[in-house]
Structure 1
Amino acid sequence: RVPTTASAVMHNHYWYLFRIGTGVIKIRSANYGRTNGYTCSAGVPAEQRTNVWCNQPEAYSILSQRCDGSQYCELNVGPEQFPDPCANTFKYLNTSYSCLHADTSVTCEHEVGELNCAGVIKVFRATYGRRDGTTCTSGRPPRQLVNVNCFHSLSTFAVVISSCNGKNSCSLTTSHPSFSDPCYGTYKYLEVTYGCYPCHIVLIE
């Protein structure tokens, strides 16, 4: 069984998940709000800790989209990330997560990549765009590398899992029509984080 780690972080504090070895994050549960009177209570007035039925139902979805399949995750715990489920209550993010073994494949724009497994493929994360200035840079002018906040995640992820999940190999081309251009003029790449599993556990979440 994959071990699970729990974490609680106060409102308006930075929260980090660090990778373990070469693994990636898998969020198991998450709530932003308050479910007891003692967590993150130091220095907090009693009247801001009395509502213990404060839940943000979108917290799991928000956190999964942000962190799943990544080697690390960083965000500020506050209203910028999570809609406020209960005014005048001092809230915290309570989450549990696992670290799963994974590999990463990078395919530069206009090229074809391939994933291969002895078992079957389970895709954790897929993005198309550019998130740094060092990947897929050979022969490219600086102006094509400067935008590092350029990527599509959800539509790319759907295409890649449809092409690869449950198979022992798959080919990926960045010319796929579903990979719409998230930033014209930037040289992009497809980055896929995946694991290889025996057939009988490929669908484990």
Structure 2
Amino acid sequence: MMRGLFYICFFCISVADNCGKTVSIQEDILHSLVSMQRPSCGGNTKFGLTSVIVCHGISVYLRCTYPFKINIKAAVYGRLDKSICPEGPAGTTSCKSKTSDAKIKAQCNGKEICRVNADARLYGDPCFGIYKYLDVKYTCF
């Protein structure tokens, strides 16, 4: 099977992702597939907690395999580490959005798949002129 190949079915799309597994994606996110980053392969998983870093301007999908659902433990948009997403100015390591955690939890908790975006328009700009990223930690329950 070729990676990245799409199979269309009646109410879903299946994607052969770069993890070698087939992922079913609901029709309601079909419109996003053109610009979609591949669903996360779990990011960095340790003790059942998955950590995903999303650099500014990028969207990724968080996912849990059926029948498990996403449970966001923490989501921070801002900059807390100069070594993460070093593509732009990183003059501070003490800025974070006050709304990102609650917004990501409301958006993703209880779903099998969820698209997250690293964008100041969604969470506010906690440190103008600094290149930011979204750090999401979640489990599948």
- Separation in structure 2 between the aligned mates of residue 7 and residue 19 of structure 1, nearest angstrom: 13
Q: Distance in 1 between matches of 2:138 and 2:101?
A: 11
Q: Say if 2:58 is the partner of 1:13.
A: yes
Find the counterpart in structure 1 of residue 98 from structure 2: 57
Query: Is 1:23 aligned to 2:68, yes or no?
Result: yes
Q: Find the residue that maps to 1:73 and give its secondary structure.
A: strand
1:34 aligns with one of 72, 79, 83: 79
Question: Who is 2:19 aligned against?
Answer: none
Percent of aligned pairs with the same amino acid = 26
CA RMSD of aligned residues (A): 1.3
Work out which of the residue numbers 98, 101, 105 in structure 1 matches 2:139: 98
Matches within 5 A, 1:117-156: none
1:40 CA drift (Å): 0.6
User: Quick one: which amino acid aligns to residue 95 of structure 1?
Assistant: V
Separation in 1, partners of 2:80, 2:122: 19
Q: TM-score, normalised by structure 2?
A: 0.63
Mapped partners of 1:24, 1:93: distance in 2 = 20
TM-superposed CA distance for 1:6, in Å, is 0.6
Q: Compute the displacement of 1:20 (Å).
A: 2.3
The alpha carbon displacement at 1:76 in A equals 2.4
- C-alpha deviations, 1:129-172, integer Å up to 9, x for none? xxxxxxxxxxxxxxxxxxxxxxxxxxxxxxxxxxxxxxxxxxxx
Amino acid at match of 1:71: E
CA distance in 2 between partners of 1:89 and 1:55 (Å):
11
Runs of 4 or more above 4 Å deviation: none
